[in-house]
Structure 1
């Protein structure tokens, strides 16, 4: 497994949000994490990155235990992260936002990787534009480009299509498919759009109350499973 969690419980303060959580993702695959709002999907991403107050249990990347490592070490081991809300620095330029990702590169190269410019022609043409002036879809492109600047083995994407116009949702989906299937970058994403998840994912995890309640190949994500765990 490229990335795995084994019986992980993760806390904010004294409150356990993830509980006895286990999963694994193979290199080159796309795993979609599904569930209602507030069930622990974002906490899963933050736990992998070391951004919760504490966690117990094993988290490994290519067999290396990272559960006690600080966030910057996890990034240098090849984890790129696109947080919910994107985390763009509005007063910085497009160029400056992307360059922030290079600080976590294992090879120490400080320049914008060519893949970031090839994947996102708009960003390439607007490197000196202030990031706060971009549209929602353009900011999501920028957040992905910044994560790519890490030169990641795996990309964690928390709700990558949230708050984006429907026509841009398809575009973001195409981008992620290219990253996964043509460039071979492993993807772990939380997603609200079932159609996007089914199109991108090789497998799924369904989360409820901080636990994995269903999982398997994407073909096993039936309408009954969706209705049981996602319908309010």
Structure 2
């Protein structure tokens, strides 16, 4: 297993958000984390990345406990993070944004990876353009490229298709599929687009009120589960 969570709970201040989360993540797989807004999907991503105020339980990466080490050390273990809202640096160039990710590489290389340029030709042609001038879809590509500069074994993607035009959603889905299937990068994907989840995912977790309420192979994601836990 690439990653294992065992009875992980997570807190912001005194408020408990996650409650006894346990799952195994196979190397090279894509896990889709589903649920309505406010059920704990983002907190799960932040907890794996070491950004919650306090956690209990165990988080292991390739059998090594990482739940007690800081965020930058988790990055060096091979975890790349694409946060909700992208959080790119608008006054920095495309190149500078990507290079920020490279500082977490364990081999110390500071460079724009060839993979980023191959996947995202627009970014390759606009490395000196200020990131704040990019469209929402282009900024999402940049956020993914920045995470790839870590040279990750795994990517955490929090709502990567949020607020993006449908044609760009399909394009980003295709790029993520390439990263997962062709390059062997494991994905944990927080998503509300069921079509995206079903096309990319191998397995799913359904969350509600900070707990996992259903899980299984993606073909077990029934319309009834979607209706119960995702329909507003």
1:175 Cα offset (Å): 0.4
Correspondence 1:109 to 2:78: no
Matched residue SS, 2:108: coil
Aligned partner of 1:161 in structure 2 is 161
1:112 Cα offset (Å): 1.0
1:111 Cα offset (Å): 1.1
> Structure 2 CA distance, aligned partners of 1:177 and 1:67?
28
Correspondence 1:148 to 2:148: yes
Show the 5 A alignment for 1:212-227.
212-227=212-227
> Structure 2 CA distance, aligned partners of 1:55 and 1:140?
29
Q: Give every structure 1 segment of 4 or more consecutive aligned residues whose post-TM-superposition deviation is greater than 2 Å.
A: none
> Structure 2 CA distance, aligned partners of 1:84 and 1:115?
23
1:81 Cα offset (Å): 0.3
Aligned partner of 2:70 in structure 1 is 70
Q: Deviations over 1:157-178 (max 9, x none)?
A: 0000000001100000000000
Aligned partner of 2:173 in structure 1 is 173
Q: Deviations over 1:52-107 (max 9, x none)?
A: 10100000110110111000000000000000000100000000000000000010
Show the 5 A alignment for 1:8-157.
8-157=8-157
Matched residue SS, 1:100: helix
> Structure 1 CA distance, aligned partners of 2:4 and 2:124?
35
Aligned partner of 2:194 in structure 1 is 194
Q: Deviations over 1:109-129 (max 9, x none)?
A: 011111111111100000000
Matched residue SS, 1:6: strand
> Structure 2 CA distance, aligned partners of 1:21 and 1:136?
32
TM-score if structure 2 supplies the norm length? 0.99
> Structure 2 CA distance, aligned partners of 1:39 and 1:156?
17
Alignment: residue pair count: 232
TM-score if structure 1 supplies the norm length? 0.99
